[in-house]
Amino acid sequence: MVAIIDTHQHLGSCRTFDRDVSADELLVALDAHGVTGALVLPFPWPPDEKAAHDAIAALVAKVPRRIRGIASINPHVEEKDYLAEAERCVRQLGFVALKLHPLGHACSPLGRDATKVFEAARGLKVPVLVHTGQGAPWAMPSLLIPRAHQYPDVTIVLCHAGAGYFSQEAVAAAQVCDNIFLETSWCTLPRIKEMLRTVGSQRIMFGADVPENVPVEITKYRHLRLSDTEVDDCLNGTARRVFGLGDVDFARDEFSEEQILD
C-alpha cells in the first residue's frame, strides 16, 4: 500500500478566515483516512506567528514520523525580521518550505514584499508554496510565471493549482516553467486528469488543506484510475522529491489518540 503524504495542512488559529484547527483534530483526520504523514503550516495572520510555528515544531517533536513543518511568515514585516524567522524555522526547527498566501497576506506574488519570500527560499534552499485560486487577481497562477523565471533554482508549488477557478492557468504555468509544481486540493476531477495528461504525475502532489477535506481529496484520487507509478508519484513520491523527504520514514501506526490528547 502506497504511503500518503498530505502536503498542505494547517494548524492553529486564523484571523483572516476565522478558522481554528487543533492538533488532535488534524491527526485524527489523517489517521481516520490512512494518511501516513503531513506537511503542516500556520494559517495566514495567526494571533502570534512565532508561537504558531513553535506549536507546529512541538507537534513534530511529539510525532516525528507523522509531521513536518512549513513556515508562513507575513511578507510585510521588515526584511531582516522575515529572514530571521525563516532561518529559525528552517535551520532550527527543521521546517521544509516557506509559504506565501496572496489573499491571506494581502500580497501579490509580484509585489516588492513578496520578493523577500523567494530570496529567503533561494538562500535556505527550500521550496515556496503559493496559494492560488480564491483571491484573484493576486492569487492567479499566471503571476508565478515571472517569479519562476526570475528564480529558476527555487521550486514553486501552486497550492490548490488554481482551485478549479484557474486550474487551466496553473497547468499552463507548469507547462512553461519546469520549476512549478501543482498541489491539487479543491480541484475538480477533470482538471486533475488534465494536469496528469499535460504536466505529468512527477510534478503533481496530494494535499487536503483542512482536516475535513481529507476524505474528499482521497476519494478524487481513488476515482482517477491511475497507474501504480502515477499513484506513487501523486500521493508520495513527488512530495518526497520536492521537500527533501527521501529519508523520512513516515509511519501511520505511530499515532494514537492518547499521544495527542494527553
Domains of the chain as residue ranges with CATH: 5-261 (3.20.20.140)
Q: What is the pLDDT of residue 249?
A: 85
Q: What is the pLDDT of residue 217?
A: 97
SS3 for 19? strand
Going by C-beta distance under 8 Å and a sequence separation of 6 or more, which residues neighbour residue 48?
Answer: none
Q: What is the pLDDT of residue 197?
A: 97
Q: What is the pLDDT of residue 246?
A: 85
Task: List the grid coordinates of 182.
Answer: 501543482
Q: What is the pLDDT of residue 253?
A: 55
Q: What is the pLDDT of residue 252?
A: 64
SS3 for 44? coil
Cis peptide before 137 (omega within 30 of 0): yes
Tell me which residue of 126, 135, 226 sits closest to 179, measured CA to CA.
126
Strands (E), the chain: 5-14, 19-21, 37-42, 67-69, 71-72, 98-100, 128-131, 156-159, 180-183, 204-205
Q: What is the pLDDT of residue 180?
A: 98
SS3 for 130? strand
Q: What is the pLDDT of residue 251?
A: 76
Q: Which residues of the chain have pLDDT under 70?
A: 1, 252-262
Taking the C-alpha atoms of residue 197 and residue 83, their distance in angstroms, rounded to an integer, is 38
